[in-house]
């Protein structure tokens, strides 16, 4: 599959291009970049990859089978619709739409055109969530009562500011998707947002979202970029004991350190033993070895889905369910209420 990358900011540069390159059966066929500094960066990183000034020119070449749209959130709807109209498969970065309603619009457009639309909830492929999933699959914890997920980043410079940005739409898309992936549909939402005044407009710089799942599990997710804390944590309370993880964001840390998965696929995405999680069952503490984090698996699965006409690794309906929770969370925080979802 030939994939064109639309956008080469932080997302395109660090979370897409290296993993497209590492994925089997996938080729990075072009990159849309406009600013001179961005073009220079693309040429330095991928001198063999064509550069296009806009999506229109990329599409007219006929050299891409699919595109990944990773431009700023407020620009994605139009670009996704443009690619769909051209009959090209699309991977939309998160949040792939500003609301569940717009998400349904994009879903309908892709269905009508007969193209595959996927959403890049790559953090289903994080090292820590994969390790937690493996523990849950063993059934050792028994019935799950509640789960707390915290992903704090000391990274105010990358906070998308103003009414179209904020942490709820940014990191909230990921951590809510993780909980739905693990525990299924949500029936009730309650949320709090940390609002800061900014020249671009009031911005939610942090959040706490509590969810009641249809199966009875209670989950709570939180994140911030402005409170000078950089730490991940999962706490799971269950029938037979508890699970505690403080694994790091190992794939992102490796990427920002200049490493690339293609250089060591076998060793990529593992947490070191000193940061392994703990499973506490019946008074005994067991260290849980790290599962492998593999963002490139998303691209391999997407290409396979298109080839076999199967569902993509993250279905649009699943991403819409995430948007429904985020819509409910904003309503809850604004109105100080618990929101019941359909």
Give residue 74's pLDDT: 86
Mean pLDDT, residues 150-172 taken together: 93
Q: Characterize 299-336 residue by residue with b for buried, 16 or more Cβ atoms within 10 angstroms of its Cβ, and e for exposed.
A: bbbbbbbbeeeeebbbbbebbbbbbbbbbbbbebbeee
**What is the model's pTM?**
0.96
The C-alpha atoms of residue 81 and residue 292 are separated, in whole angstroms, by: 34
> pLDDT band at residue 342, thresholds of 50, 70 and 90?
confident
In the chain, CATH 3.40.50.720 covers 2-120
Report the percentage of the chain scoring pLDDT > 70: 100
Give residue 100's pLDDT: 93
Per-residue model confidence as pLDDT tens digits over 27-53: 999 999 999 999 999 999 999 999 999
pLDDT for residue 278 is more than 90: yes
Task: Check: CB of residue 254 under 8 Å from CB of residue 217.
Answer: no
Give residue 163's pLDDT: 86
Q: Which CATH number is associated with domain 2-120?
A: 3.40.50.720
The C-alpha atoms of residue 104 and residue 330 are separated, in whole angstroms, by: 19
Q: Which CATH number is associated with domain 123-298+324-340?
A: 3.30.360.10
Expressed in percent and rounded to 5, the helix, strand and coil fractions of the chain are 40, 25, 35
pLDDT for residue 176 is more than 90: yes
pLDDT for residue 164 is more than 90: no
Give residue 73's pLDDT: 84
> pLDDT band at residue 260, thresholds of 50, 70 and 90?
very high
| CA nearest to 90, candidates 312, 322, 323 | 312
Per-residue model confidence as pLDDT tens digits over 318-330: 999 999 999 999 9
Give residue 96's pLDDT: 87
Mean pLDDT, residues 120-125 taken together: 97
Per-residue model confidence as pLDDT tens digits over 84-119: 999 999 999 998 898 999 999 999 999 999 999 999
Per-residue model confidence as pLDDT tens digits over 190-243: 999 999 999 999 999 999 999 999 999 999 999 999 999 999 999 999 999 999
| CA nearest to 45, candidates 78, 21, 27, 72 | 21
Q: Tally DSSP H helices, then E strands, for the chain.
A: 11, 15
Task: Check: CB of residue 51 under 8 Å from CB of residue 39.
Answer: yes
Give residue 83's pLDDT: 98
Q: pLDDT averaged over the chain?
A: 96
Give residue 234's pLDDT: 98
The C-alpha atoms of residue 55 and residue 149 are separated, in whole angstroms, by: 37
In the chain, CATH 3.30.360.10 covers 123-298+324-340
């Amino acid at each position: 599959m030939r994939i064109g990358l639309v956008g080469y900011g932080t997302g395109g540069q660090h979370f897409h291009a290296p993993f497209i390159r590492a994925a089997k059966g996938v080729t990075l066929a072009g990159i849309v970049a406009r600013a001179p500094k961005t073009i220079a960066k693309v040429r330095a990183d991928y001198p063999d990859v064509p550069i296009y000034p806009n999506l229109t020119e990329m599409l007219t070449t006929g050299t891409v089978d699919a595109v990944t749209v990773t431009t700023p959130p407020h620009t994605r709807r139009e670009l996704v619709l443009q690619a769909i109209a051209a009959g090209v498969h699309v991977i939309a970065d998160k949040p792939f739409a500003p609301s569940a309603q717009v998400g349904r619009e994009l879903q309908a457009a892709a269905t009508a055109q007969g193209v595959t639309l996927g959403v890049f909830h790559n953090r289903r492929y994080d090292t820590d969530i994969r390790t937690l999933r493996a523990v849950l699959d063993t059934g050792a914890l028994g019935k799950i009562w509640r789960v707390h997920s915290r992903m704090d980043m000391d990274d105010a410079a990358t906070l998308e500011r103003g009414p179209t940005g904020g942490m709820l739409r940014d990191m909230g898309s990921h951590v809510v998707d993780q909980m739905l992936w693990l525990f299924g549909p949500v029936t009730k939402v309650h949320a709090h947002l940390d609002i800061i005044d900014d020249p671009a407009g009031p911005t939610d710089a942090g959040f706490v979202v509590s969810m009641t799942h249809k199966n009875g599990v209670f989950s709570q997710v939180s994140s911030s970029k402005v409170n000078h804390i950089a730490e991940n944590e999962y706490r799971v309370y269950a029938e037979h004991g508890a699970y505690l993880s403080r694994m790091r964001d190992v794939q992102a840390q490796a990427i920002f350190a200049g490493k690339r998965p293609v250089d060591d696929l076998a060793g990529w995405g593992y947490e070191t033993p000193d940061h392994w999680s703990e499973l506490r069952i019946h008074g005994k503490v067991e260290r849980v070895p790290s599962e492998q984090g593999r963002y490139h698996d998303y691209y391999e699965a997407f290409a396979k889905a298109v080839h076999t006409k199967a569902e993509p690794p993250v279905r649009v309906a699943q991403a819409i369910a995430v948007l429904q929770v985020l819509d409910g969370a904003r309503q809850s925080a604004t109105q100080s209420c618990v929101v019941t979802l359909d």
